[in-house]
Amino acid sequence: MLRATHASALLDLAQPLHLALGVFDGVHVGHRAVIQAAQASAREMGGSWGVVTFEPHPIRVLAPERAPRQLLASLDHKARLLERMGAEFLLALPFDHALAALSAREFIGLLQQGGAIASISVGEDWRFGKGREGDVAFLRKMGEEHGFLINALPPVMHEGERISSTRIRQSIRDGALANAAAMLGRPYGIEGIVVKGQQLGRTIGFPTANLALGDEQLPPDGVWAVRVECGSDQWHGVANLGMRPTVDGSQRVFEVHVFDAAPELYGKTLEVEFVHYLRGERKFESLEALKTQIQQDAVAAREMLR
């Protein structure tokens, strides 16, 4: 999948272009409806299809005091999710005050630097351009002028309310991951790069991969049954998120033990899906007691992941 920060890079793709526009934090079920509309248009009309988004999240530039502290997916994670959907490109426009100052018409002109646009897919209430002047009515007018179609998708509902990234983040914070998964269309997971830890797990028979925590939303601290993916490799495992009060307690860490494998993971990016919450974190009297509990956690996690 082509990743670019300027529309002109899309000139190398098969034309015309079918664009799904939006922030798409988490690529949840509502977002997928918009993205799949672009895919369907490309299938019917020919050309290339993909996503146009922004980095960083616009609210972090325009209203940082209201911006969420954590997101559902980093840009790299979002790219991997989109690639699995079959997207042919991801155009991540650097969002700053200069981009925010573009009029709605100027913004469409920016996109047209990528070539001929055949269709644009958005949520029906999506707004863009200086002062949020651009809306679906404006897009339809531009489409008539320039010969592209507009797919305006209604919000997708869950339990009587609109699916939103805000709702999903709250569900994850609350530990309601089944509810989050229903709105995401997949189990919730985070990505992180494996870094050197204290290597204590090796001494008690449970080597772990320690992930550097970014700004993706974390669930409650505790022990989780997880699925782990690294490139084409996939494993089941058990993970601990928290302060490790038995051995340290100074900082929050996320460590993952994968079952039936001993891969070299330092420096690699792991995607870890939270499948089932096993227990809260607690302090043990000794490392031996901790080891016994981890053994029990591993048995429970294997059973959950069968």
CATH topology of domain 2-155: Rossmann fold (3.40.50)
Residue 250 in this model has a pLDDT that exceeds 80? no
Domain boundaries, the chain: 2-155, 187-305
Q: What are phi and psi of 139, to 5 degrees?
A: -60, -40
pLDDT > 90: what percent of the chain?
87
Q: Which pLDDT does position 306 carry in this prediction?
A: 87
Average of per-residue pLDDT across 253-273: 92
Average pLDDT, integer, range 193-203: 74
Q: Give the pLDDT score at 147.
A: 97
- The confidence band for 243, taking pLDDT boundaries of 50, 70 and 90, is confident
pLDDT at 249 over 90: no
Q: Is residue 50 predicted with pLDDT exceeding 70?
A: yes
231: left (phi over 0), alpha (psi -120 to 50) or beta: left
Please say if the pLDDT value at position 204 is more than 80.
no
Kindly tell me if the per-residue pLDDT of 198 is higher than 80: no
pLDDT digits (tens, 9 = 90+) for 77-103: 999 999 999 999 999 999 999 999 999
Architecture (CATH level 2) of domain 187-305: Beta Barrel (2.40)
Mean pLDDT calculated for residue range 198-224: 84
10 Å Cβ neighbour count for 29? 17
Mean predicted confidence (pLDDT) in 54-72: 95
Q: For 236-268, give one letter per residue: b (16+ CB within 10 A) or e.
A: bbbbbbbbbebeeeeeebbbbbbeeeeeebeee
Show Cβ contacts of residue 77 under 8 Å, excluding neighbours closer than 6 positions.
190, 191, 216, 271
Does 2-155 match 187-305 in CATH topology?
no
Contacts of 5 (CB under 8 A, 6+ apart): 55, 91, 92, 93, 94
- Give 247's pLDDT tier (boundaries 50, 70, 90): confident
Supply the pTM of this predicted model: 0.93
pLDDT above 90 for 244: no
Token duo for residue 291: 């080891």
pLDDT of residue 106: 98
